[in-house]
Amino acid sequence: MCGIVACVTSKKSDFAADACFKGLEYLEYRGYDSAGISLIVDGKFETKKAVGKLESLKKEIKSKPFSKSNIAAGHTRWATHGSPSIENAHPHISTNGRVALVHNGIIENAAQIKSEKLQNIKLTGNTDTQIVAEYLSMLLEETGNLQNAMTKLVKQIDGSWAFVAMDVKDNSKIVCSRHNSPLVIGKGESENFIASDVIAFVEYTKNAVEIKQDQIAVIEWDNIKLFNFAGEQIDYANQEYKIDWNIDAAKKGGYSSFMEKEIREEPAAVRNTIYGRGSQDGRFGLDRLDFDENYLKLIDKITVVACGTAAHSGYVARFAIEHWCKIPVEVEFAHEFRYRDPIVNSKTLVIAISQSGETMDTLQAVRYAKQQGAKTLAIVNTLGSALDRECDAVLYTYAGREIAVASTKAFIAQITACYILGLYLAEVRGNLFLDEIESKIRELKTLPDKLAKVLQSYDDIKAFAKKEKNTESVLFLGRHIGYPIALEGALKLKEIAYIHSEGFAAGELKHGPIAIIEKGQLVFVIVPPKNDRAEVHSKVLANIEEIISRGGRIVVIAEEGDNSLSEKLEKGGIEKIFFRPKTSILFSAVLDIVPLQIFACSVALFKGLDIDMPRNLAKSVTVE
Ligand code: M6R
């Protein structure tokens, strides 16, 4: 959460400020409560800040343009300490005007630093970053050098941070440090950049240097130096890489929102996840495995840790992995996991699922699992992310960049990766015969085309969403693998359309939730395939009857050719059926979620909401 971008160039111009603003536009997915940019102009900081989305900062800059400068740092904020306000917006300038600081993360001992080190200083605000900016300037006065001040600072603070700092008396360099929050350098021709995500500078350069955990960087327009927290210089050759995508991936490409674009990219996301690492002889492998494969034969439990949508993909994974590999699978919200003394030991495989790979709750769960002796495996979309680096094994989802806050294509790619992992484990552990695995892989490979077919109903679902834009409450029901899909459908609708929605296990209905069904209540029901687990199918039909008889309005997601519901569609009770191509129940999750994603995206569109940047949210939750 929070986006950082900074730039230092060879000469004074509008470039540094413009590049920072543009970078912030690309980083806005990380937070959009307030934003600000500071430059050094004639030995003073020139700073503009605004509350709300970047549009407000843009107006501010337009009404009084920035002066020319060779150095700038900007920030877009997702509030943790302190409300969204100008006072709390970054960059923070120390009271003596010497230091400008932008920060992503939380400094947990800020109050202690304030009371022990800054007793005589009257701060204008009280956020952790303001305290650190002040303390950094004090250390700078002591050491006379921003790099030395930063090296002293990082030894005294706890928490998580990506810092970018400027000293008003030295406009030649930007000093940064990283601990538990991402930062990456962009190497340009006559300028260098630093940002939370390469998206902020990919328009200008594809040459990147990742700042690794617990490193400090000193960046001049023609020089980059990296140090560890002990102050020793580091050779960073192995941290350099080329960005292999271009800025078009970060544009909407003519769609009304990134979310719509990303839903439409789902067939490609699944295809790339299946074929991304190549499969030899019908066998899937992992992208990285740092321990002996035989260890996987010894594990007696899998625990999936994840948050939000990624956790829902974990619930889907449980069905497939337990069924194919005959190994118990627990799924747990990462933020709950380590607080309940979970049984995790050297025979446990902990799978962490994450789009960003930077979700702090998930990272902390992984760290806890490692301390208990478990092996960890990441299913992650962001190569080089903290989760990618810290886990003992990795399986990438090749969904491509996901920009909309509401996760769609990454979710589908996560489920696909879970199937791949399940089949890989079944093969390594000898749970399935090779021909059985091959037949499942063949079916998995049909999913991209089937997804493309589901997407043909986009306009139909959109038209239905238009009629429902004023609906105040929507329920989602599913059984078996349809249950996590119901949870995910409800999450999508609440997070971007602000409609109260809940997902239920269909069988749970009669144990309480049915009390809220009254005339007109809209209920989405996911009907499983008729010929695969017929008993689940007939139970869901019974649940539909229960809702109809209490006046509920039903929308069904069902398999093509399932005519058990046609009569109810004609006679009333069922308002709409969206059909998906036939597939086995375990794979149906990938197809069933799509109409629900389109529905949420379209309702938000017709309500005139900001689909890609829903209120109070941010794309990566890098704080606990
Ligand atoms: O980056 P991650 O996959 O770890 O993020 C986990 C959740 O924060 C994320 O899925 C969140 O629930 C999304 N807003 C859902 O659309």
pLDDT digits 0-9 by tens, 150-180:
999 999 999 889 999 999 999 999 999 999 8
Distance 409 CA to ligand 1 centre (A): 12
Q: What is the pLDDT of residue 120?
A: 84
Print the SS3 string covering 276-325: CCCCECCECCCCEECCCCCHHHHCCEEEEEECHHHHHHHHHHHHHHHHHH
607 and 573 co-located in one domain: yes
Distance 402 CA to ligand 1 centre (A): 11
Chain-wide mean pLDDT for the chain? 93
E strands along 291-448, which residues?
Answer: 301-306, 329-333, 348-354, 375-380, 393-396
Mean pLDDT for 584-613 is 96
Q: What is the pLDDT of residue 93?
A: 96
pTM equals 0.83
39 and 154 co-located in one domain: yes
Is the CB of residue 199 less than 8 Å from the CB of residue 227? no
Q: What is the pLDDT of residue 80?
A: 73
118 and 164 co-located in one domain: yes
Give SS3 for 364.
helix
- For residue 280, give its domain range: 252-445
Is the CB of residue 553 less than 8 Å from the CB of residue 441? no
CA distance 233 to 230: 9
Q: Is residue 621 part of a domain?
A: no
Q: Is residue 198 part of a domain?
A: yes
Task: Tell me which of 259, 333, 364, 621 to substitute to probe ligand 1's pocket, judged by most ligand atoms within 8 Å of the beta carbon.
Answer: 621
Q: Which two tokens stand for residue 275?
A: 């074929």
Mean pLDDT for 564-568 is 80
CA neighbours closer than 13 Å in the CB half-sphere of residue 520: 5
Domain count, the chain: 3
CATH at 363: 3.40.50.10490
213 and 270 co-located in one domain: no
Helical residues (DSSP H) of 107-219, grouped into ranges: 110-117, 128-143, 146-154
Query: pLDDT, tens digit, for every residue of 25-65?
Result: 999 888 888 999 999 999 999 999 999 989 999 999 999 99
Query: pLDDT, tens digit, for every residue of 243-276?
Result: 887 787 778 888 989 999 999 999 999 999 998 7
CA 103 to the chain's CA centroid = 19
CA distance 489 to 475: 9
Q: What is the pLDDT of residue 568?
A: 75
Q: Is pLDDT at 98 greater than 60 in this prediction?
A: yes
154 and 265 co-located in one domain: no
Query: Relative to the CA of 620, which ligand 1 atom is closest?
Result: 1
Q: What is the pLDDT of residue 278?
A: 60
Under the banding of pLDDT at 50, 70 and 90, the label for residue 84 is confident
Q: Is residue 616 part of a domain?
A: no
Q: Is pLDDT at 564 greater than 90 in this prediction?
A: no
Q: What is the pLDDT of residue 621?
A: 82
Distance 510 CA to ligand 1 centre (A): 31
Task: Tell me which of 78, 257, 305, 309 to substitute to probe ligand 1's pocket, judged by most ligand atoms within 8 Å of the beta carbon.
Answer: 309
Q: Is pLDDT at 282 greater than 60 in this prediction?
A: no
Distance 621 CA to ligand 1 centre (A): 8
Q: Is pLDDT at 132 greater than 60 in this prediction?
A: yes
238 and 262 co-located in one domain: no
Q: Which two tokens stand for residue 249?
A: 């991936």
420 and 550 co-located in one domain: no
Residues with CB under 6 A from ligand 1: 307-310, 354-356, 359, 362, 405-407, 495, 617, 620-621
Query: Relative to the CA of 355, which ligand 1 atom is closest?
Result: 3
Strands 170-179 and 184-187: unpaired
Q: What is the pLDDT of residue 340?
A: 85
Is the CB of residue 94 less than 8 Å from the CB of residue 134? yes
Mean pLDDT for 599-608 is 97
Q: Is pLDDT at 377 greater than 60 in this prediction?
A: yes
Q: Is pLDDT at 622 greater than 80 in this prediction?
A: no
CA distance 98 to 100: 7
260 and 230 co-located in one domain: no
Q: Is residue 583 part of a domain?
A: yes
263 and 193 co-located in one domain: no
Q: Could you list the active site residues?
A: 2, 619
Q: What is the pLDDT of residue 532?
A: 80
CA distance 523 to 204: 48
353 and 460 co-located in one domain: no
Q: Is residue 521 part of a domain?
A: yes
235 and 349 co-located in one domain: no
Query: pLDDT, tens digit, for every residue of 454-476?
Result: 999 999 999 999 999 999 999 99
Query: pLDDT, tens digit, for every residue of 529-552?
Result: 988 878 889 999 999 999 998 999
Listed residues 250, 265, 285: the one ending a domain: 250
Q: Is pLDDT at 422 greater than 70 in this prediction?
A: yes
227 and 312 co-located in one domain: no
Distance 551 CA to ligand 1 centre (A): 34
CATH at 193: 3.60.20.10
CA distance 622 to 358: 6
Q: Is residue 485 part of a domain?
A: yes
Instruction: Determine the residue type at 525.
Output: V
Q: Is residue 620 part of a domain?
A: no
Q: Whose CA is nearest to atom 16 of ligand 1?
A: 406
Q: What is the pLDDT of residue 544?
A: 93
Task: Tell me which of 335, 407, 414, 487 to substitute to probe ligand 1's pocket, judged by most ligand atoms within 8 Å of the beta carbon.
Answer: 407
Distance 597 CA to ligand 1 centre (A): 14
Listed residues 418, 445, 472: the one ending a domain: 445
Mean pLDDT for 221-233 is 97
Maximum Cα interatomic distance, the chain, rounded to a whole number of Å: 81
Listed residues 445, 474, 503: the one ending a domain: 445
Under the banding of pLDDT at 50, 70 and 90, the label for residue 280 is low
Q: Is residue 623 part of a domain?
A: no
Mean pLDDT for 135-145 is 97
Q: Whose CA is nearest to atom 4 of ligand 1?
A: 354
